[in-house]
Every structure is written in C-alpha cells, then in structure tokens.
Amino acid sequence: NYRGFRQIIIPGLSAHAIIFILITPSLLTIISLQHYFFNFSIPFAFSEFPSWVEKITWRNILFTVKNFSIGYNIDLHSLPGAISTIVYSVLFACGLRRYPYGKKGRLLFLFLFLPVAIILLASQVKPFYVDRYFFYLLPFFLIGVAIGLSKTKKYILNGALFVVLILNFSALKNYHYNLLPSDYNQHIGIVEKLKGVTELSHFISDKFKEGDRIIHTCKKTVFPLKFYVKHYHNSFPLFAEVEKGTLAYIPGEGENLRYIDYKGTHPRLIDIENMYKPKVHPRVWLILSAFSSRKAVKENLPEYLIVELFKNNYCIEKCKEFGDVRLYLLKSCENTFNIPAAL
C-alpha cells in the first residue's frame, strides 16, 4: 500500500542523498584526475597525484598492516617489524572472530576494508596505493586488536601487552632519530627530514640578485624554502621568486627537460616558451635534492642529470653543500648561442 511504499522509499532516498553528498568531494577529485589516470599524461593544470608510486603488489597490504601495527619507521623484515605485524594480525583476527555483534557485525567490519581492495585493484592500472588514504580505517583495526586482547587469557594478555610496549618503544626510537626503511614501498609518501634548508635560505638571501631564477630538482625543497624565506627574510624579489616554486624534471627516458611551478599548493606546467635560457636569465640557482637524498655522492642521484643539462649552457660559479642539499649558482657562459631542445 501507499503507506508501506512511503516508509520504504522516503528513507531510502534520504539515505542515498546523504551518501551522495558525502562522496561528492571524492567524485570531483576522480573527475579531475580521470584524464591522468586513464591516459597517463598530465594536463597543463593539474592537482596533486601520487605518480611517484611504484608497481603495487600484494606485499603492499603487508606493509599497510605493518604500518598500522608499529609505524612506518620500522622495516617489515626486521625482528620488531615482523613480530609486531604477526602479533597485531593475530589479535585482530581473534577480535574479528569474537566480534560481539554476530555474523552481520563481522561482515560490516570486513566491509570497512573494502576500499583497500578496490584501491589495490585500481592501482594495477595506475598506482596510487598510499597508506595515508587508509588512516580512517586505523581506529577500526585497533578496535579489532583491542577486542582480541580482551578475549585472551590473562597470562597471554599480559605477555601480549609487554611485547606491544617493547615494540612501540623501538618504533619511537626510530621515529626520534628520523630513520626509515631502505625499501621506499614501506613508507610511500613519507620522506626523511631534509637537513640544511635553513642555512640554504640564508645563503641564497645574501647572494640573491633581482632577476635571478631559483629552480628545484625535487619538490622536497620547494615548500621548506618558501617557509624559511617568508619567516626570516624581507627581500620582496627573493620572496616573489621563491613563491613560484619552480621545479625542473625529466618526464621519461630520452625526453626533454620540463618545468612546473608550485605557486600556491598545486603544480602547474610551464609553457615551453617560458623555459629558461641564458640570454634571458643570466643567473640561475639550481637546488639539487631528491626524495632519496641520503646518498654520499650526489652525482649518483637521477636528478643530477638535470644539472648536466644546465651545464650545457651555464657555467658553475659556486657549488656548496647544505646537509642533504647541494646548491649550484649557474651563470651564463660567454659566447653561448645555441640552446639544446632539452633547455
């Protein structure tokens, strides 16, 4: 009858309307990124997207469980990493098995992890599996672990708590010393703290001249340099140049050098006509760094190829190390007329 129909349809439509409102931000993000996702290309203006993520496999789920258990500062293959992953996984499985709300409750609990499976599958097309996307699942994971602990015998509970405390102490020690596993897949999106940017900003401020250009080889230095220049220096030409956040990169093997401006928070490709040339920009500050910058020899970095390309048209006036960063002051060489396509 009409009353029964209304009791079903109206709540159903209301529920779907609320769901649609909640997922609208995600839908807008997906629409804006679909060109990049399916065509593997970056439009002139684009939002951030983890194109730096490598091939995703089932091992990434293990890394996610490890990161949920003990954090990203511990290697999965180390003793603390392996033990914590096993202990937390067993406790979570016990908690899920003894979940107090029956089969329906356990099914609902499992469906909370459906996004992990969806992103894992979608990442086979274009990788974007990053643990921070799953932070909202962490409380449910820990609730499952807590239920598992509460259902164990007292002597097992005390032993498990002792193990958890010792493991967490180990993780906090690594966190304090800013240590990360050598395998980047275990901490995707997390990088080591960059040393030397404060000193770098002071040095550039002392030597900067109006008309100089500042170019980064890695996004890792873009925003820290903006911060220090904004808070410790009052030179408007320097601030205006640093605010552009210009990044040089090579899209792929054998491809030409391209540029991105991080003016604001989102990157924007620079038109080829605006690429830097010695006749137009006689002095360039080139900041060499990388996400994997903890290397003894900077020449081993893939980003060093950018330095080599600039050296085709510029002479090195100064070269100075600042912690994990190397700074080049490049000056246009005399009698330079031919500009390679890469520049």
Length of the chain equals: 343
Please check whether residue 69 is in contact with residue 84, taking contact to mean a CB–CB distance below 8 angstroms.
Answer: yes
Please check whether residue 329 is in contact with residue 310, taking contact to mean a CB–CB distance below 8 angstroms.
Answer: no
Q: Strands, DSSP E only, in 135-282?
A: 213-216, 246-249, 258-261, 268-269
Please check whether residue 314 is in contact with residue 212, taking contact to mean a CB–CB distance below 8 angstroms.
Answer: no
Beta strands 258-261 and 246-249, pairing class: antiparallel
Query: Which of the two residues, 162 and 103, has the higher pLDDT score?
Result: 162
Closest CA to 215 of 250, 254, 260: 260
Quick one: how far is CA 135 from the chain centroid?
14
Domain extent listing, the chain: 50-187, 197-332
Q: Which residue has the tokens 């997390």?
A: 190
Closest CA to 287 of 223, 235, 230: 223
β-bridge mates for residue 213, sequence order: 284
- Please, which pLDDT band fits residue 286 given cuts at 50, 70 and 90? very high
Half-sphere exposure of 138 (CA within 13 A, CB side): 13
User: What's the longest Cα–Cα distance across the chain?
Assistant: 90
- Please, which pLDDT band fits residue 311 given cuts at 50, 70 and 90? confident
Please check whether residue 133 is in contact with residue 78, taking contact to mean a CB–CB distance below 8 angstroms.
Answer: no
Residue 287 has pLDDT above 90, yes or no: yes
- Please, which pLDDT band fits residue 35 given cuts at 50, 70 and 90? low
Instruction: Label residue 281 exposed, middle or buried (CB < 10 Å: 0-12, 13-18, 19+).
Output: middle
What's the rounded mean pLDDT across residues 174-198? 78
CA–CA distance, 260 with 142 (Å, rounded to integer): 41
Please check whether residue 251 is in contact with residue 320, taking contact to mean a CB–CB distance below 8 angstroms.
Answer: no
| The pLDDT of residue 303 | 83
Residue 292 has pLDDT above 90, yes or no: no
**Phi, psi at 295, each rounded to 5°:** -130, 140
What's the rounded mean pLDDT across residues 96-119? 72
Q: What is the pLDDT of residues 141-176, one digit of tens each?
A: 888 888 888 888 877 778 877 877 888 888 888 887
- Please, which pLDDT band fits residue 253 given cuts at 50, 70 and 90? low
CA–CA distance, 227 with 308 (Å, rounded to integer): 28
H or E segment and range at residue 287 = strand 283-288
Q: Poorest-confidence range of 237-246, 269-278, 332-341?
A: 332-341
CA–CA distance, 257 with 236 (Å, rounded to integer): 29
Long-range CB pairs of 273-282 (<8 Å, 24+ gap) are 275/343, 276/213, 276/215, 276/343, 277/313, 277/339, 277/343, 278/313, 278/314, 278/332, 278/333, 278/336, 278/339, 279/332, 279/336, 281/211, 281/212, 281/213, 281/332, 282/211, 282/331, 282/332
Residue 107 has pLDDT above 90, yes or no: no
Please check whether residue 332 is in contact with residue 215, taking contact to mean a CB–CB distance below 8 angstroms.
Answer: no
Q: What is the dihedral of CA 115, 116, 118, 124, to 10 degrees?
A: 150
| The pLDDT of residue 22 | 67
CA–CA distance, 5 with 249 (Å, rounded to integer): 60
CA–CA distance, 73 with 62 (Å, rounded to integer): 15
